[in-house]
Amino acid sequence: MKWNVIWSNFAEQQLDEIFEYFVENIGKPTAQKIIFTILVDVEKLEKNPFIGQEEDLLKNRKIKYRYLISTNYKIIYSIDEEKGYVKIVDIFDSRQNPKKIKRKK
């Protein structure tokens, strides 16, 4: 089964901010490489969304969140098994304070 992957507005915004940061501070080729790597890892979720681990820092939420590591980022997502989709809710820089992961999305 191939799962549909959808992105929250917040996750799209985070991806844009990551790209802009690297363009401004390191260069466009590096920014493109990082974004490409994240997108390739997101594609893996189409085949098997259960490859990611459960996110312990968000386990008290109504929705169960999982994550997949991509370079220095956590791709945080939820799975809707009934509707057959994966929703990317955040791209979190894992070099930050982990408590920031609980921010509103």
* pLDDT at 105 exceeding the cut of 60: no
DSSP letters, 13-79, are HHHHHHHHHHHHHT-HHHHHHHHHHHHHHHHHHHH-GGGSEE-GGGTTSSS-EEEEEETTEEEEEEE
All domains of the chain in start order, with CATH: 4-97 (3.30.2310.20)
**pLDDT tens per residue across span 10-68:** 999 999 999 999 999 999 999 999 999 999 999 999 999 999 999 988 888 889 999 99
Kindly state the tokens that stand for 35: 């974004």
